[in-house]
A and B are shown apart, each in its own frame.
Chain A
Amino acid sequence: MAEIIIKNLRKDFGDFTAVQESSFTIEDGEFFMLLGPSGCGKTTTLRMIAGLELPSSGEIFLDGEEISQRPPSQRDIAFVFQMFALYPHMNVRKNISYPLISQGMRRKDVKAKVAEVANILGIEDILNKPVGGLSGGDRQRVALGRAIVRDPKAFMMDEPLGALDAEFREHMSEELRALHDRMGATTVYVTHDQLEAMQMGDKIVVMNNAVVEQFGTPRDIYDKPASLFVADFIGSPSMNFISFNGSVAVGDTTVTLGNTCVTVPQQLSAHQGDLVLGVRPEHVQLRDEGGIRGKVGALEYLGTTQIVVLDTDYGEIKARVDADHPVSVGDQVSLSFIADTISLFDKSSGAAIRSVLNDGVIAHG
């Protein structure tokens, strides 16, 4: 298994830049997520690692070797396609054994290896079926089988669950993660689904408009977003943003929103002008002594919690509170924010302002 280092990777298609100088490190055995909206360059990045696209510039190191210009067959990387791309003119067994045949493995060994993989994936009974009639889940397993059968250095997965229906996706994502843990393989996984990324990944790279916005653990990315985009993209409902004009100085622990003073994590750099205060809905508390007043506009019941949509002087704010918290539409309530969770952003650049909360995290971006 392998460590993958991406250095200043860039890809241009004519005038269009699909990926701008990106750098990150995928450690050995990591389940690594490339997350972003469609068209952000995440799939292009993945295809460059696999060798299906050649980078315009930059380097890719696989286990210390620079591989960015090699053909895919010389990289020892497996790829699981979104549409599975099973060879339709072959049955399941042939599909899985196809990578082994290209290596010139002996027939007997191929058979044993395929049987072993089929056992891991629980698909022994469909080995001799044509791939055309298989269910989505079985196709997914066959595609995985074809990937794991030759023990590659790393797996690339391009939205492998995207073609499955919602119910089955959950089950398959658990299966995938379990398979990853069992193989101990380095896996790079592309998705646009932030929940999937949070749920499965050891590390996440968030991309937007060909740029890496943030790179870190799911917890860091959720709690300490490096930019407005990340803060908005991750989490459902997304973070509340309150725009204000003001200034922060090094060492400040409060900011002034209009006539309200809000406690924030201690600031480590000075900024002034148009700023944005970001707070996640679960960090908004409904209580009497809160400084901001609002009127309950709507309620979304989610089982264990409920989302309270509040109209305030600073715009709409959503709060996530216990499902049994007594509140009804039309109520006037006061709210406060949990101070050490608040992020401040520079509105024009979108970048987070350094504070004790995110110190050391946003340096990555």
Chain B
Amino acid sequence: MSYSVTDPSKRQKFIAGTLVILYALITMVPLVWIMMTSFKTPPDSISYPPKVFYQPSLEGYVNLFTTRTRVSAEKLASLPPPENFAEEIVRSRNMVIAGPSKFGGRFLNSVIIGFGSTFLSIFLGTLAAYAFSRFKIPLADDLLFFILSTRMMPPIAVAIPIFLMYRQLGLSDTHVGMILLYTAVNISLAVWLLKGFIDEIPREYEEAALIDGYTRFQAFYKVVLPQAATGIASTAIFCLIFAWNEYAFAVLLTSGTAQTAPPFIPTIIGVGGLDWPAIAAGATLFLLPVMIFTVLLRKHLLRGITFGAVRK
């Protein structure tokens, strides 16, 4: 067997692997439980002892997307046969579908506000970070500290002033208002993270582009941006996760048109008892976009694209 000083031994690898798998299992149990619950029927979801093996059902998802009314047995019998699986499930509970729920709209709000504020944070953050990284800005260090200082208290500490401001400006319960708010919270993170990434990109690339006949902006756009893709991707994930999951401001500032999914999902509880499968279905669907976004950008997170291009 070959022997290496730097490589871990088989036993070390085994122990490390076991620990990692154990940790992964522990962190994943709640997620898996939520996903499992979303496919249970309401009686299964509250049965004791908890059911690990059960007949899967889409009732949670149906309940999530619909509003329903209870009808009498005679009325139920007089209805034409159900047109789809959703109606079948609902009628088995002596109810009929009254219409769609608000979840679709709330989910769309989350998408618009989450991705909108992420885009804006990254757009402004990249420009600011580039300027801080490359140009001689008077008081640059103080400005950077000032930008960071916006994160030195929990954002919710300024909730009341923001609430009053937004009411005055007519930004309460609007998409623009929420996008601006989440951008304001995320921008300091974006500037600091991106400045670090842009500092790492050798200036020679831009200088080469300037010499090759491009303007400063073209050099930034065509040479720096592709180099910063890794940093931009990871910063975007952080920004999106914050904006996507934010709960407190969303509760405070939105109630209707711009309400996002996080404050909406718990309101399901109030509709006809504790409908855990519907809540779990909402939570499961809510997890998906961030998961997909992260998986799509994973390539950029892992690949050091400047590797080997410059000899250091």
A interface list, Cβ under 8 A from B:
50-52, 71-73, 77-79, 81, 83-89, 98-99, 102-103, 131-133, 136, 139, 146, 150, 163
User: What bracket does the count of chain B residues touching chain A fall in?
Assistant: 20 to 34
The one of A102, A133, A136 that contacts B213, using a Cβ cutoff of 8 Å: A102
With a cutoff of 8 Å between Cβ atoms, the chain B residues found around residue A52 in the complex are: 207, 210-211
Complex contact B308–A99 (CB within 8 A): no
Name the A residues within 8 Å of B307 (CB-CB).
88, 132
> B residues bordering A, Cβ < 8 Å?
202, 204-205, 207-215, 218, 223, 226-227, 305-312
Pair B210/A88 contact, Cβ less than 8 Å:
no
Which residues from chain B contact A103 at a C-beta distance below 8 Å?
Answer: 213
Looking at the assembled complex, report how far the CB atom of A28 sits from the nearest CB atom of chain B, in whole angstroms. Answer: 21
CA separation between A154 and B223, bound complex, in Å?
24
Chain A residues whose C-beta falls within 8 Å of the C-beta of B207 in the assembled complex: 52, 72, 79, 81, 85
Q: Determine the main DSSP class of B at the interface with A.
A: loop
In the assembled complex, which residues on chain B have CB atoms less than 8 Å from the CB atom of A136? 311
B303 → chain A, closest Cβ, in Å? 11
In Å, the complex CA distance between A136 and B227 comes to 21
For the A-B complex, the count of residue pairs with Cβ-Cβ distances under 8 Å equals: 77
Q: Which residues of B contact A73 (CB under 8 A)?
A: 210-215
Interface centre among A83, A139, A146, A163 (most CB of B within 10 A): A83
Which of A88, A132, A150 has the most B CB atoms < 10 Å from its CB?
Answer: A88
Known: A83-B310, A89-B305. 5 other contacts (CB 8 A): A72-B207, A72-B211, A79-B211, A84-B311, A99-B212
Question: Which residues from chain A contact B215 at a C-beta distance below 8 Å?
Answer: 71, 73
With a CB–CB cut-off of 8 A, which chain A residues contact B306?
Answer: 88
| 16 CB-based A-B contacts, threshold 8 Å | A50-B211, A51-B211, A52-B211, A73-B215, A83-B204, A85-B207, A86-B208, A87-B209, A87-B309, A88-B227, A89-B226, A89-B305, A98-B209, A102-B218, A131-B309, A150-B213
Q: How far is the CA of A321 from the CA of B269 in the complex (A)?
A: 99
Are B311 and A163 neighbours in the complex by a CB distance under 8 Å? yes
Determine whether the beta carbon of A81 is less than 8 Å from that of B204.
yes
Q: Do A86 and B309 have beta carbons less than 8 Å apart?
A: yes
- Complex Cα gap A298–B250 (Å): 84
Q: Is the CB of A102 within 8 A of B227?
A: no
Closest to B206 in A: A85
Q: Are B202 and A83 neighbours in the complex by a CB distance under 8 Å?
A: yes
Give Cα distance in the complex from A150 to B308, angstroms: 26
- B220 vs chain A, min Cβ distance (A): 13
Please tell me if the beta carbons of B310 and A99 are within 8 angstroms of each other in the complex.
no
- Cα(A50)–Cα(B305), bound, Å: 28
